[in-house]
Structure 1
Amino acid sequence: MASDYWRDKNDLLGRQVEADHVIKFVNQRVADRIRRGLPGSFVLNIDAKWGEGKTFFVNGVRSELEANGHPAILIDAWRDDFSGDPLTAVVAEFDRFLDQYKSKDRSVRVRVAAAGKNVRRNAGKLSLLMGKGVAKRVSHYVVGEVSEEIAGLISNVVPADVNTKTTIDDASSAVLEMSNTAIDKYAANKLKQFSEAKVSLANFRQSLEQAVKALAAGGLKPPFFILIDELDRCRPTYAIEMLERIKHLFDAKNVVFILSTDTAQLSNAIRAVYGNDFDSRHYLTRFFDRSYMLASPDRRQMIKWLVANSDMDPQKIRTDTDLSVVQIVDSVSDHYKLDLRQMDKAVDLLATIATVWDSNAQVEIALIYPMIAAFLSGNPLSNPQQIWNAFHYESSPKNFAPLHISKVNIGAVFEKVFSWRTVSLGQIVNEISSDYNAVHNGPQPTRIAYKIIQSEIDAVRVGDAMPAISSYADRVRMAGRFRSAVV
């Protein structure tokens, strides 16, 4: 059964086919692992660059899973990384799913509720034992960074006649001397904690498996899918902890994790924690059973949809370059290496400019879109040189070449039109009248420039008005500020 998600969300990137392929692959792999008696969960990494639709994809996968009777939850890791504890984030979402599960069969409801209670209880025990042992805190009092909580912990492993608080306060330059008896007691406590953690971990994994079985008894198809999005946007330490929790704690039968990451970006973040020489790519392979590279999106198809579904008033825009709007947006976006999200922003900026455009002359897309793309790429367009830079690029050290859109030298067109920015349309009319040969027989960029300005003259018919090109950069900046204020 297909989900309506892809139709409702206009799946122009063709992600539904990939989602079906991924789901079939994972189900087959899980079934194969169970048949072979292999323990543990299955972890799939969905790899794509930022802005290529990972969130759209995982939401579609979740919808497809639900439509086909699989239990599935989706966790926004970036939203939850404030908690500092990935275990809590995952268990909370898992528990919410169990709590909201409905069945007509009372025995199934009771079984699912009991399974949820066991998951919560075991997760709570595990959380208390993880990261709260004295071992993680001994280093603090050795160097003198002590809290009341640590003082209380140490009091359990030092002789009764030692003033713990005083000793700790004085420990900034000396290590606390402990008797053999105290050390033995400390070691015994640590071994006990370790044994308790192993038992709690086994109980936690078992409770997960029992929860999946309870849901299967109610008609849902195993495995249980846990999708985690935006992991590469999290704090590096949180991302690492999430991966560690998935690998070591949730390694239970009939549990599947699907992570969406920009794996290169995640690798860089991990390297920032462990050092530039750390092999973070190899480190990540420890956590993933497989990685799937999302297909690169069809840029032109996406642009067609963005333009068609924008709020752009077609009466406010035009081009005298014999190029289509899609050609211009596609070529310039490619030149500036805009990803899908940036192209979405660029088209939205163009629509915003068109919405408030108050001149009878239409906006020339071939001249304003390169400014928009440059602005989104970090060019503030604050002076003539920066505006000129939007239409030129460094082809070699200290050598600049004009931007081309298809076979149109748009950089040269810009230079001619921009040269008129400080003179009135009436003065330009006089120039056109006195230079018939250049207007009709000059180089292609010159002819296009005259055609653009003539369209403006015909629309405005005010001799002392200034060319629209003189305001383009200001309008891009204002539209950009407006967008920033409402996002």
Structure 2
Amino acid sequence: MIEIIWEDDQLNRRQDAEFLQKFLIGRIKERENRGLHRSYVLNLDAGWGRGKTFFILRLAKQLRYFGYVVVEVDAWKDDHADDPMLPVISAIDTEISKFVQIEGEKTNRWEGVVRKGSYIALSVAKGAGMHWLRKFIGEGADELKNLVTDINLSETAKAAAKPVEDAIESSANEFLQVFRSRRSVIEEFKSSFSLFMKDNDCFTAKLPLFIVIDELDRCRPTFSISMLERIKHIFDVDGCVFIVSTNTDQLQKSIKAVYGDSFDSESYLSRFFDRTYRFKEPIIENFVKSLVTQYGVDANRFRIPPGYTLDNYISSGLVFYGLGLRDAAQCIDIIRSFVTIWDEDLKIELSVLLPLAISGQQGKLATPLPKVPDILTEIRNKNGSHTSEWTINFYNEKSNGDSLFRSFLGFLGKAPSESLNTNYARTHQNEWIREYLINEHNYLVQRRGRQEVKVARAWYYWDRIRNIGNVT
């Protein structure tokens, strides 16, 4: 079963999952043995394209396989709510309800926990938060009154004919004052939640309870901050482990957008997490393969030099020119966009597209096409791995991807009859190029019904990449 969960793991994240499971469960046991509160908040920090969501989804499956309850919260999907507490309570309720013994008194105990949590959220929720309040209190003011019977809402009760939104809005100040004056309700919520989970007669699953939150860095800054505040001050429940997936650098920028550039967002964030776990940088070949698979880039759309697949030709070229993972991700996105707008039946020549994509990604979009080989030389001299040869074997002849691209430019941009009849060295590499030109010429003549088609093939690729560069 574990093998099936991780069967499409291109970045070897299974090792990270196995380590984190042992670490978190071990840390909870250590705290229990020392008589400490058994709660923990882990920040899973990884940049864009590093497979955070892939990892979180499969880690959740793995933990469930070992008998733990896992609550999954997609913070980005719940970003429309004014306050994140009710979305989290809703997700917890959905999962825990599956393990509650179906008996009146025991079910009522869990419903009491939910009501306490909803009661807290009610103090700050309004506007978009009504979507979540309705899950627990329905549409009518009578249900609202029953939920918070210990609050004097005489004026609200009189407004029962009004929508709940109007009733909440008209009493917002009263709710806030009650919330401030009765902070003990938070401790009651935490205590009743923890006691319920410890009672094996009520809750039949293993502890700790895992709550994983994904996509927090994509949310509104105020929502992200509120989520962290709720985890710290309200969901700090004995027996709960939070795993919060973030791009911490991006999240720090979001916090500065609220508090100002001079605000120490790094220190601010650190107080919410017990520890931060960072993925190792993946091997670029695995990273490229992961992105190609994730984006669904179809290798059949390309003409690929002999001895290579789509992903390892791309990764070999990226290593040759010395591009890192962030640059690699952007290059693959350019290639992906190029495929999207390619409306020809003819296959895309990868040996032409990749070097142009790299040049474009490196900010050289204004470079005239004939100067691109010089630009690529500069990129390689500055960043490149000079132990990488990017070798291509054309039968018994050796070449490399850079040389193949330069040779292609010698043919491209001419009218087909000119390029096909040019005297050229009869090498296997040139035959490979000529085969493409013949196929393209025949395709275009058939497609456009003309005997002479000036294609200027390389600038067609370059022009499209420049257009893609205008898409932000």
TM-score by length of 1: 0.69
Structure 2 Cα separation of the partners of residues 120 and 270 of structure 1: 30
Structure 2 Cα separation of the partners of residues 51 and 313 of structure 1: 20
Structure 2 Cα separation of the partners of residues 41 and 387 of structure 1: 61
Structure 2 Cα separation of the partners of residues 379 and 351 of structure 1: 20
The C-alpha deviation readout for 1:5-46, integer Å capped at 9, x for no partner, is 212xx1121212211210111111111112212226210111
State the shift of 1:193 in Å: 5.0
Let me know the Cα RMSD of the aligned residues. Answer: 4.1
Structure 1 position 427 matched with structure 2 position 427: no
State the shift of 1:125 in Å: 2.4
Q: Superposition pairs for residues 18-29 of structure 1, below 5 Å?
A: 18-29=16-27
Structure 1 position 126 matched with structure 2 position 134: no
**Matching residue of 1:286:** 271
Q: Which of 424-433 and 399-408 deviates more?
A: 399-408
Structure 1 position 212 matched with structure 2 position 197: yes
**Matching residue of 2:37:** 39
Task: Give the counterpart of 1:196 among 168, 182, 188.
Answer: 182
Structure 2 Cα separation of the partners of residues 102 and 18 of structure 1: 28
The C-alpha deviation readout for 1:175-215, integer Å capped at 9, x for no partner, is xxxxxxxxxxxxxx998753412x11111111221332246
Gaps of 5+ in 2: 127-174, 391-398, 443-450
Distance 1:96 1:332, change over 3 A: same
Task: Give the counterpart of 2:213 among 216, 228, 232.
Answer: 228
Q: Which of 408-417 and 264-273 deviates more?
A: 408-417
Structure 2 Cα separation of the partners of residues 391 and 403 of structure 1: 17
Task: Give the counterpart of 1:116 among 106, 110, 120.
Answer: 110
**Matching residue of 1:156:** none
Structure 1 position 264 matched with structure 2 position 249: yes
Question: Number of residue pairs matched?
Answer: 401
**Matching residue of 2:75:** 77
Q: Superposition pairs for residues 159-170 of structure 1, below 5 Å?
A: none
Distance 1:222 1:3, change over 3 A: farther
Distance 1:350 1:390, change over 3 A: farther
Contact 2:413 2:458 in 1 (8 A): no
State the shift of 1:78 in Å: 1.3
Distance 1:17 1:327, change over 3 A: closer
Task: Give the counterpart of 1:319 among 305, 321, 331.
Answer: 305
State the shift of 1:245 in Å: 0.7
Contact 2:302 2:350 in 1 (8 A): no
Contact 1:231 1:261 in 2 (8 A): yes
**Matching residue of 1:6:** 6
Contact 1:73 1:93 in 2 (8 A): yes
State the shift of 1:72 in Å: 1.0
State the shift of 1:338 in Å: 5.1
Larger Rg: 1
Structure 2 Cα separation of the partners of residues 401 and 62 of structure 1: 39
State the shift of 1:302 in Å: 4.3
**Matching residue of 1:358:** 345
Name the % identity: 29
State the shift of 1:430 in Å: 4.4
**Matching residue of 2:90:** 92
Structure 1 Cα separation of the partners of residues 41 and 461 of structure 2: 50
Structure 2 Cα separation of the partners of residues 211 and 373 of structure 1: 57
Task: Give the counterpart of 2:286 among 291, 301, 321.
Answer: 301
Gaps of 5+ in 1: 133-188, 441-446
